[in-house]
Amino acid sequence: MEKSKVKPADGKLGIMVVGLGAVTSTFMTGVLMARKGLAKPVGSMTQYDKIRVGKGNDKKYLSYYDIVPLAKLDDIVFGAWDVYPANAYQSAMYAEVLKEKDINPVKDELSKIVPFKAAFDKNYAKRLDGDNVKSCATRWDMVEELRADIKKFKADNGLDRVVVAWAASTEIYVEPNLKVHDTLAHLEEAMKANDTVNIAPSMCYAYAALAEGCPFIMGAPNTTVDIPAMWEMSEKLNVPIAGKDFKTGQTLVKSGFAPIIGTRCLGLAGWFSTNILGNRDGLVLDEPANFHTKEVSKLSTLESILQADKQPDLYTDYYHKVRINYYPPRNDNKEGWDNIDIFGWMGYPMQIKINFLCRDSILAAPLLLDLCLLSDLAARAGKGGIQRFLSFFLKAPMHDYTKNEEPVNHLFQQYTMLKNAIREMGGYEADEEID
């Protein structure tokens, strides 16, 4: 073993979230409660998982904290932007994800987390009507104001480092335009020319974060950092980017269950997935243009796991359908149904049904914590560009599609990538292979 070359996690870590809704208020409340010993951060890999390092007589199973220098929960300071002015306490109460008894012990801390005005364009999320919005003349003005917010948040709280994470609503789909999104220079020109068709507000957040040296995480399926111009910027400034779309419920099941079908060499005729949810995310996704962005990310999972070119007898022409339905009575307690039509020996058909009654924010909160802590770790390890090792946490892992790179969607291969990256940053050998 070599000594870890990662810079220590000294001082305070700021986590600035775009969107102070159900996911982020649940995330903040859970971290603050865990700090007081009043709750457990269940579901968080960084807090619970143990990785084997070494082999034979040298084999040990260590927590992430014992392998690499991760920021501690006590060192986190929260900030936010939102189109609604409600503070984190009001947001947590409004979201109705957590019981009042699990929010009130940290009411004072949550009440002090007041969102900055959001950089917002209603054309990108027509169902949202908030008035806590910046009045920016151009996309470049958005960038400048967001950079000022990050600087202020950092100075006001005496922070050493900041991570920025998008946990706001899904924007309408922005098709990658390789005349605008191809280079950093072209992206900046478009922002200054106020190209509102090709430059989504989320791109302004990402640009501002990277310009301020803050890792950026895309927790929705937005195109935002999944363009060559942003890859160029993050590599040039040596600042990590990760995305896209938190892998919480149905896609987590899909990325874990599809390998069972593939490993067992069973055939697939079709996979139909449908969801009901009633939170703000569901409301926004009820708009067809916004749903299309989500559909692209949810559909991409299966095709890279069960591939026709590798097994033409088993995976040629299967039918894959994804639906999301807005249903207000369910609020944050979404439900995912999967109907899987498979075939076996001599082509005989069989079916698998999966019904996952999950809680969107309860699954997303620990995932957001892990992504923030691991992105901060990557930054201190000097890793710029796309953080492929974080694919485990994301529905549509970023990859260089301009070079026909295939994303890794297979959950257990993603886990191997994650473990190897932690080992390497900790000065151990990355000793597992992905077949």
| Tokens representing residue 191 in the block | 């922002």
Q: How many CB atoms lie within 10 A of CB 189?
A: 13
Same domain, 198 and 263: no
CATH number, domain of 113, equals 3.40.50.720
Please give the pLDDT value at position 161: 98
CATH number, domain of 308, equals 3.30.360.10
Same domain, 235 and 264: no
Same domain, 345 and 381: no
Rounding to the nearest 10 degrees, give the CA dihedral for residues 187, 193, 199, 203.
Answer: 60
Query: Domain for residue 5, yes or no?
Result: no
Query: Domain for residue 27, yes or no?
Result: yes
| Tokens representing residue 290 in the block | 């916004």
The verdict on pTM exceeding 0.85 is yes
Same domain, 308 and 384: no
Q: Among 357, 383, 414, where does a domain finish? A: 357
User: CA-to-CA distance for 410 and 258, rounded, in angstroms?
Assistant: 8
Helix/strand/coil for 58: helix
Same domain, 339 and 369: no
Query: Domain for residue 345, yes or no?
Result: yes
Strand partners, 246: 394
Same domain, 219 and 316: no
Angle, helix 360-380 to helix 22-35, in steps of 10 degrees:
70
Q: How many CB atoms lie within 10 A of CB 323?
A: 13
Query: Domain for residue 430, yes or no?
Result: no
Q: Among 311, 330, 357, where does a domain finish? A: 357
Query: Domain for residue 7, yes or no?
Result: no
HSE-CB at 197 with a 13 A cutoff on CA atoms is 4
Label residue 275 exposed, middle or buried (CB < 10 Å: 0-12, 13-18, 19+): buried
Helix/strand/coil for 16: strand
How far are the Cα atoms of 222, 238, 239 from residue 234, in angstroms, in the given order? 17, 6, 5
Query: Domain for residue 412, yes or no?
Result: yes
Kindly state the helix (H) or strand (E) to which residue 79 belongs, with its residue range.
Answer: strand 76-82
Q: Among 314, 331, 357, where does a domain finish? A: 357
Query: Domain for residue 213, yes or no?
Result: yes
Same domain, 240 and 184: yes
The amino acid sitting at 27 is F
Residues across the chain: 435
Same domain, 321 and 188: no
Domain that holds residue 340: 250-357
Same domain, 260 and 227: no
Same domain, 270 and 399: no
User: CA-to-CA distance for 118 and 205, rounded, in angstroms?
Assistant: 10
Contact of 346 with 258, CB cutoff 8 Å: no
What's the DSSP call for residue 278?
A: -
Q: What is the mean pLDDT of each run of 10 residues along the chain (435 residues)?
A: 83 98 97 98 98 95 98 98 97 96 98 97 89 96 98 98 96 93 98 97 98 97 96 98 93 93 97 88 75 68 91 96 90 92 98 94 97 98 98 94 91 97 96 89
Query: Domain for residue 392, yes or no?
Result: yes
Q: How many domains would you assign to the chain?
A: 2
Q: What share of the chain is helix, strand, coil (3-state, %, to 5)?
A: 45, 20, 40
Same domain, 220 and 319: no
Please give the pLDDT value at position 278: 84
Please give the pLDDT value at position 298: 61
Same domain, 200 and 309: no
